[in-house]
Structure formats: C-alpha cells, structure tokens
Amino acid sequence: MQTKRALPILFLVMFLVMVGFGIIIPVLPFYAQEIGATPTELGLLMAVYSLMQLIFAPIWGQVSDKIGRKPVMMLGIAGLALSFFIQAISTQLWMLFAARILGGILSSANMPTAMAYVADITTEENRGKGMGIIGAATGLGFVFGPAIGGIFSKISLNMPFYLASGSSFITLVLVFILLKESKQDGSETGQKRPAFWKALNGPASILFFIQFLISLSLSGLEATFAYFAAKKAGLDSIQLGYIFMIMGFGSALVQGGLVGRLTKRFGERAVIQGGMMVSAIGFALILLINSFTTAAIFLTIFGLGNGVIRPSVSSLLTKLSTAGHGRSTGLLSSFDSLGRIIGPPLGGWLFSLTMGLPYISGVVITFAAFVLFLIFRPQVNPAKITNR
C-alpha cells in the first residue's frame, strides 16, 4: 500500500476541492439576489444542492466499488468545475438552479469516494488517522475558501465563481497526474456485493443515524449562530468570520493530529462518545456567550468535539460494513446530507420561538445520539466482525 505517499496527495486534493466549494459560500446569496432571487428562492437554491447529494452520494459510492475510486473522483471534481463555471456566466435564475443541481449530482461523488479511498489504503489500526486527515483537509478548505471568495468578490460578484471553477480544474489535473487508483485487482472491484441500502440491516446501521443526528444539530447551529451572536454579544459579520476561522483551525488540527492517535489508543467507539460529550457541553456553553472572546472559546469547544465524530464514524463504518467501502461511505454522506437539509429550517423555526432553543435542542439531540450509541455499542464492535 502506498499509504504514506497517497494520504498527503489526497489531503491536498480534498483541501483544494473544499477551497473551491468554500469560495462561493459568502458570495452566492448576494449573487443570486442580484439575478433576482427572493429569500425563499435562495433557500431552495441551497436546499436543492443538498437534496441531490442525498440522492446521488450512495450511487456514486456504489459505482466506485465497481469501476474504481479515481475515475469517480475525477468525475465529481469535473462536475464542480462545470457547475461553478455555469454559475459564473448565469444571467437568469434557472441557470443558477441548473448549475446547483448539476453540481450536487456530480460533486456528491467526492466525499464518499475519498473516504472509501482512505479505507482502501489504510490498515484498520490506522483507519482513524486517515479519516481524520480527510476531515482536516475539509475543515481547512472551509477556513480559507470563504476568505478568498470575500476578497475576490470586491472585483465582481461572479469572479469568485470563475476562480472556484479554475481551482477545481487544476485539482482535476492533479488527481489525473498524481493520484493512483487505490483499488487493486481482486479487491472489492468485480466482487458481488449487496445493494448499498442493505447496509442499513447490518450492525453498522446505528452509525448512519448517529451521523444524521450530529449533522442535524450542527446545521441548525450554522443556520442561526450569526443571528444569535449578534443579539447576545453584538457581533458583526467580520467578527463572526474570525470566530468560524478559529473554530475551523481548531477542528482541523484535532482531526489531522489527534483522531488517529485517539482511535488507535481508545478505539473509535470511545472517541465517538467523547466527541459527543464535548459537543453537548459546547452547545450548552454557547448559550452563555457575551463577547467575542467567549463566543470564540465556546464555539471552538463545540468544534473540537464535533470534529472528531465524523472521521471516527467513517473509520468504524468501513470496518463493520460488508456492503463495500464506497457503498457504505456513500450512504453515510447521504444521511449527513439529510441532516443538513432538515437542520437549517428546523433551527430557524426554533430560533423564531426562542433564540436559545436551537442550542438547547442541540444539547438534547446530541445527548440522545450519545444514549443511542451507548445502547448499541456492543453491536458495533469490529473485533466481533473480524472474528466471525
């Protein structure tokens, strides 16, 4: 296995993918508004992307099990490049919707394929470290991407989309030249595997629901925190940008540097439970923010806990599931997308009732996930699967 060489390349690829994606985040609302989108249409524009990922991520994961990771990943990155370019030249709202739908369909191949790639090239002992590296690349991409997008939006609102498209095209070339196919002859490719949905029947099924609950609570926070921080501590958009940057760096450092060591020493199950405990504490502390400093500290505490969960869940899933790495990670991405579809409107509705309610519900949802995982913990034991 070319693990030592492949992981840094995969880190670079996923970092660039997420930088490209992050570049358009602060610009898209204003760009869509300039074209003529109403707030409702903007919400639909955001939701349709996640909906396409929900539907197509498991499909791409299954395809990668059959034909290999590299071609599917290249298709996903090419889809991003094309989607960003269409958005850059859009003059009507339907063009933006078409681009977002196309981008959601094709780019949904990237994350499950990257996780499956890691599962292919790592031993079970080092699986958590590999998944953590992917998580760190994603986190850092979201730190730098929005900052770059904000800077270039001063030139014109469509400039960040051209930049994101160009960045994605460069990433595509790097994948073609540098990244080797991870699936070897005689591995999962060509073997008969159960349909991806049958993964829900196995011992790993609880992990999909855990990921859904974690994504649900996280996306509710992301959708409302700007309003909450403005009312509680008088923070503006610039200060919020710095806060999310601090949280992103903290989460990326933990995923890239600690997840592997923690999972190797304590196992994924213990790390998942620990991450949920810290996340719940972070949710509760957010209710107490009263300044930039407390907001940065408390949100970072939440980010540190939340940051170790996804890599550990992904690592454990690939050890437990018999449906194939691509199928399993694709289905996991689908549950993650489902949480991100439901979370923002739910968080917004709860905020409209009482502004602290999204964070109280975050504590409750995370605690429920913790208890659920505790009940099913004996079933999600890789040692039992290995010794069958």
In whole angstroms, what is the distance from residue 188 CA to residue 295 CA? 46
In whole angstroms, what is the distance from residue 254 CA to residue 283 CA? 18
| Span 94-108, average pLDDT | 94
The answer on 62 and 115 residing in a single domain is yes
Domain boundary among 130, 150, 178: 178
The answer on 115 and 53 residing in a single domain is yes
Residue 349 lies in a domain: yes
Reported as a single tens digit per residue, the pLDDT across 17-48 is 999 988 988 788 888 888 988 878 887 888 88
Token pair of 204, please?
Answer: 């790993």
The answer on 19 and 109 residing in a single domain is yes
The answer on 85 and 167 residing in a single domain is yes
The answer on 368 and 235 residing in a single domain is yes
The CATH number for 156's domain is: 1.20.1250.20
What is the extent of the structural domain holding 264?
A: 196-386
Query: Residue 184 — pLDDT band, cuts 50, 70, 90?
Result: low
**Candidate from 50-54, 70-74, 181-185, 372-376 with smallest mean pLDDT:** 181-185
**Candidate from 191-200, 208-217, 300-309 with smallest mean pLDDT:** 191-200
Residue 17 lies in a domain: yes
Question: In this structure, how many other beta carbons lie within 10 angstroms of the beta carbon of residue 205?
Answer: 19
Q: Of 366, 139, 145, 178, which is closest to residue 257 (Cα–Cα)?
A: 139
| pLDDT for the residue numbered 45 | 86
Residue 157 lies in a domain: yes
The answer on 214 and 88 residing in a single domain is no
Residue 187 lies in a domain: no
Using a 10 angstrom Cβ sphere, with 0-12 exposed, 13-18 middle and 19 or more buried, the burial of residue 354 is: exposed
Number of folded domains that form the chain? 2
Residue 139 lies in a domain: yes
| pLDDT for the residue numbered 197 | 55
Domain boundary among 178, 212, 229: 178
Q: What is the pTM of this model?
A: 0.84
